[in-house]
């Protein structure tokens, strides 16, 4: 391997690592706030990419129908909960009206727009916004339907639920998008020459957007009130409840951010690789390896671990392409051994 090949592999590794870093941050966020190992994170990657591909080819993205179904089910659940609660009538009516707008009217309007507008001729930026608007609201709705009733359950129960949700969403993806993969239009066709290395504009877009998002998340957690509430919930769930922070709202917000990061990752990688309905799982799993490096706690270490995963995958594909996945996932073994030996074990509190 000469320096030019090493530089090309490093470019590919950094580009992939930037995607894995965003997914690792989303996984750490969800786990720290809700104790949920969010296995379906990869499905949001696939849904984001395939929804954008459908919009660009002039097809109706059935993910918009899934969003409407999720919204109706969430609204039914919300109405049931409000009717059971002992609240002042005016307050309850206001909450039900807001829930109806958020969970039914908004998804219905989006469904009608996508159904009746010619999205194929729209600018790329508008297509991306529409794809994100379809996929991102599924995050808090999914939390409301599958996880919120079990918020106080053990981590093992939440993991089992995540596995079930993953298989359910994968099956829905097959029904909605079919077994064939899709690609989307590149954000940039430009290329830049740096010595013997050619850097594609698409790679720069991926790395640049990832860096901006990571910086935005940092300032969000450090400066905003809702970000500090999420951090407080992650540090001590019971303490957050005692000081008036709603852990249910924190869980929905965490799932919203995770869905946004997942869908955006799908949009970013769709021009560079063919995405299938079940392809997001493997991508999300590599982000999970990066999150494990950070102990599902540290955001900077998780991002650095994800970048390491990207570089390891890239160089492994050159030296032993048939075993690159094995090499990447083997990285998790020494990390788990080291953390097992270096950390103090605390038994989980049981009821």
What pLDDT is recorded for position 343?
64
In sequence order, which residues have a C-beta less than 8 Å from that of residue 125 and are 6 or more positions away?
none
In sequence order, which residues have a C-beta less than 8 Å from that of residue 31 and are 6 or more positions away?
37, 38, 291, 296
- 3-state SS class at 194: strand
- The yes-or-no verdict on residue 339 having pLDDT over 80 is no
Domain assignment present for residue 333? The answer is no
Least confident residue range of 120-129, 160-169, 334-343: 334-343
C-beta atoms surrounding 227 within 10 Å: 17
Domain assignment present for residue 201? The answer is yes
CA angle (281, 301, 222) in 5-degree steps: 100
What pLDDT is recorded for position 328?
82
Positive or negative CA dihedral for 18, 56, 189, 8? positive
What pLDDT is recorded for position 19?
92
What pLDDT is recorded for position 1?
63
Q: Please tell me the distance from the alpha carbon of residue 173 to that of residue 51, in angstroms, as a whole number.
A: 10
Q: Structure tokens of 115?
A: 């159904």
- The yes-or-no verdict on residue 89 having pLDDT over 70 is no
What pLDDT is recorded for position 4?
76
What Rg do the C-alpha atoms of the chain give, in angstroms? 21
Q: Please tell me the distance from the alpha carbon of residue 170 to that of residue 162, in angstroms, as a whole number.
A: 12
Domain assignment present for residue 7? The answer is no
Q: Which helix (H) or strand (E) holds 254?
A: helix 247-269
Residue with tokens 């050159």: 318
Q: What percent of the chain has pLDDT over 70?
A: 94
Q: Which helix (H) or strand (E) holds 198?
A: strand 197-200
What pLDDT is recorded for position 250?
87
Least confident residue range of 105-109, 180-184, 264-268, 328-332: 328-332
- The yes-or-no verdict on residue 139 having pLDDT over 80 is yes
Domain assignment present for residue 125? The answer is yes
User: Would you mind telling me the total number of residues written for the chain in this entry?
Assistant: 351
Domain that holds residue 68: 40-278
Domain assignment present for residue 341? The answer is no
- Whether residue 86 contacts residue 31, with contact meaning beta carbons closer than 8 Å, is answered with no
Domain assignment present for residue 269? The answer is yes
Domain assignment present for residue 45? The answer is yes
Least confident residue range of 168-182, 307-321, 336-350: 336-350
Domain assignment present for residue 334? The answer is no
Q: Structure tokens of 173?
A: 């993806």
Q: Please tell me the distance from the alpha carbon of residue 266 to that of residue 284, in angstroms, as a whole number.
A: 10
Once rounded to an integer, what is the mean pLDDT over residues 254-269?
93
Helices 201-223 and 225-235, axial angle in degrees (round to 10): 80
- The yes-or-no verdict on residue 88 having pLDDT over 60 is no
- The yes-or-no verdict on residue 236 having pLDDT over 80 is no
| Total structural domains within the chain | 1
Q: Structure tokens of 210?
A: 């990832």
């Amino acid at each position: 391997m000469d320096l030019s090949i090493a530089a090309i592999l490093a470019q590919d590794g950094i580009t992939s690592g930037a995607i894995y870093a965003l997914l690792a941050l989303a996984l750490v966020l969800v786990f720290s706030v809700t104790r949920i190992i969010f296995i379906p994170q990869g499905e949001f990657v696939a849904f984001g990419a395939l929804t954008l591909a459908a919009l660009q080819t002039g097809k109706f993205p059935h993910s918009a129908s899934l969003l409407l179904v999720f919204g109706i089910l969430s609204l039914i659940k919300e109405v049931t909960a409000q009717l059971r609660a002992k609240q002042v009538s005016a307050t309850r009516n206001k909450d039900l009206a807001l829930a109806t707008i958020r969970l039914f009217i908004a998804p219905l309007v989006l469904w009608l727009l996508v159904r009746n507008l010619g999205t194929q001729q729209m600018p790329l930026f508008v297509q991306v916004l529409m794809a994100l608007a379809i996929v991102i609201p599924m995050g808090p709705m999914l939390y409301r339907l599958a996880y919120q009733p079990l918020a106080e359950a053990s981590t093992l129960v939440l993991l089992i639920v995540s596995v079930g949700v993953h298989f359910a969403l994968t099956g829905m993806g097959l029904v909605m998008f079919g077994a064939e993969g899709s690609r989307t239009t590149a954000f940039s066709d430009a290329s830049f020459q740096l010595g013997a290395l050619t850097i594609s504009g698409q790679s720069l877009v991926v790395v640049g957007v990832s860096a901006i998002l990571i910086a935005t998340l940092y300032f969000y957690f450090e400066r905003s009130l809702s970000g500090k509430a999420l951090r407080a919930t992650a540090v001590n769930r019971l303490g957050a409840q005692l000081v008036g922070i709603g852990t249910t709202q924190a869980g929905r917000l965490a799932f919203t951010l995770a869905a946004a990061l997942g869908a955006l990752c799908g949009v970013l990688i769709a021009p560079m690789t063919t995405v299938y309905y079940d392809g997001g799982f493997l991508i999300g799993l590599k982000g999970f390896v990066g999150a494990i490096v950070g102990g599902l706690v540290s955001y900077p270490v998780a991002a650095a671990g994800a970048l390491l995963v990207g570089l390891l995958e890239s160089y492994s594909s050159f030296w032993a392409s048939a075993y690159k996945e094995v090499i990447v996932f083997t990285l998790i073994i020494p990390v788990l051994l080291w953390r097992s030996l270096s950390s103090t074990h605390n038994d989980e509190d049981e009821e």
